[in-house]
């Protein structure tokens, strides 16, 4: 029926195709992201990053007629145009031959999406949400165009997280458990949700840096360290879309940022003046087993306090 109506209107001079209330959905997955409809600062600014649009519409295109989809991006204030008719279709960023009511379109430049929607500053402190629009062009022509998918939101996450806070460290055997907390949001650093953290541990006297994470706020383990050497610990936050924030203030070096060698139970027992020869064959050792275990636990806690 839609095709018949279109052909009829094409034969009537001055006739316009009224908006039929067609609805549809569109998602755009950026090549550098794992979440649809999300991009970061780099995606916004570079011409190398592309997205995949997945279109679903109630309009049934006729492939033999050369029908097309016109992909467009607009600001939320503008919104998708809804008044289809004989006038020219809204400006788009890409026209593609329509192959069905659902279709995947690859290679859509993210920078073009930003530019078309008026996102001119990819390093601003606040996020920008835009609308994705898909228009139906019968026969590939702009006359009698129709909105096929409307006002689907896409977010340019441009905010970056504030410098995190390293508030403590727990030494272990060749590792440190670094306590990381979220930083204070300011006008310059506004990314506060979905932030993950990476810790870095560098020998105070110089040497190779080891890292741990990414992880949520709390304790993040920095492994592969050298025992009995003090380290300096720092942390950085990364937003949900991948914007890296500034480095935290340094923590250490002190005793809490110095990894400790692990002593086995027998070494701990002997270091506490234990006199049993050890082994399971001696009655005394068997009787003293629970007490020795408790002594070892107390000794471990004392070494780490």
Q: What CATH number does residue 201 fall under? A: 2.60.40.10
- Both 15 and 86 in one domain: the answer is yes
**Distance set, CA 225 to CA 66, 165, 178, 292 (Å):** 64, 22, 13, 30
What is the β-pairing status of strands 68-75 and 210-215?
unpaired
Domain that holds residue 232: 165-257
Task: Name the pLDDT band for 110 (thresholds 50, 70, 90).
Answer: very high
Average pLDDT over every residue of 172-199:
96
- Both 150 and 227 in one domain: the answer is no
- Both 139 and 185 in one domain: the answer is no
Given 102, 132, 156, the domain boundary residue is 156
Rounded Cα distance between 132 and 65, Å, is: 25
Q: Is 4 helix (H, G, I), strand (E, B) or coil?
A: helix
- Both 23 and 139 in one domain: the answer is yes
Average pLDDT over every residue of 144-156:
89
- Both 12 and 146 in one domain: the answer is yes
Task: Name the pLDDT band for 193 (thresholds 50, 70, 90).
Answer: very high
Average pLDDT over every residue of 125-150:
92
- Both 146 and 23 in one domain: the answer is yes
pTM: 0.76
- Both 218 and 252 in one domain: the answer is yes
Output 67 or 292, whichever has higher pLDDT: 67
- Both 67 and 131 in one domain: the answer is yes
- Both 115 and 152 in one domain: the answer is yes
- Both 128 and 150 in one domain: the answer is yes
| pLDDT value for 8 | 33
pLDDT tens-digit readout, 16-52: 333 344 578 999 999 999 999 999 999 999 999 999 9
pLDDT tens-digit readout, 209-267: 999 999 999 999 999 999 999 999 999 999 999 999 999 999 999 999 999 987 655 55
- Both 233 and 287 in one domain: the answer is no
Average pLDDT over every residue of 174-180:
97
Q: What does pLDDT average to over the chain? A: 84
């Amino acid at each position: 029926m839609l095709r018949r109506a279109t052909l009829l209107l094409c034969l009537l001079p001055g006739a316009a195709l009224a908006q039929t209330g067609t609805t549809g959905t569109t998602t755009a997955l950026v090549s550098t992201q794992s979440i649809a409809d999300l991009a970061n600062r780099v995606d916004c600014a570079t011409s190398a990053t592309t997205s995949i649009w997945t279109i679903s519409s109630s309009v049934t295109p006729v492939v033999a007629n050369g029908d097309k989809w016109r992909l467009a991006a607009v600001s939320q204030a503008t919104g998708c145009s809804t008044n289809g008719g004989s006038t020219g279709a809204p400006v788009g960023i890409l026209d593609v031959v329509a192959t069905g009511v659902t279709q995947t379109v690859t290679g859509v430049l993210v920078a073009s999406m930003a530019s078309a929607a008026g996102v001119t500053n990819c390093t601003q402190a606040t996020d920008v949400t835009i609308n994705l629009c898909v228009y139906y062009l019968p026969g590939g022509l702009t006359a009698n165009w129709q909105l096929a998918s409307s006002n689907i939101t896409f977010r340019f996450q441009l905010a970056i997280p504030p410098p995190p806070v390293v508030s403590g460290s727990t030494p272990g055997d060749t590792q440190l458990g670094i306590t990381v907390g979220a930083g204070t949001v300011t006008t310059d650093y506004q990314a506060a949700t979905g932030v993950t953290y990476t810790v870095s541990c560098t020998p105070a006297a110089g040497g190779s840096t080891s890292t741990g994470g990414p992880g949520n706020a709390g304790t993040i383990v920095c492994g592969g360290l050298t025992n009995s050497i003090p380290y300096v610990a720092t942390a950085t936050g990364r937003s949900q879309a991948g914007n890296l924030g500034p480095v935290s203030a340094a923590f250490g070096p002190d005793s809490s940022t110095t990894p400790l060698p692990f002593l086995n139970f027998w070494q701990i027992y002997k270091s506490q003046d234990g006199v049993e020869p050890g082994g399971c064959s001696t009655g005394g050792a068997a009787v003293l087993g629970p007490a020795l275990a408790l002594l070892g636990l107390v000794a471990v806690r004392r070494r780490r306090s």
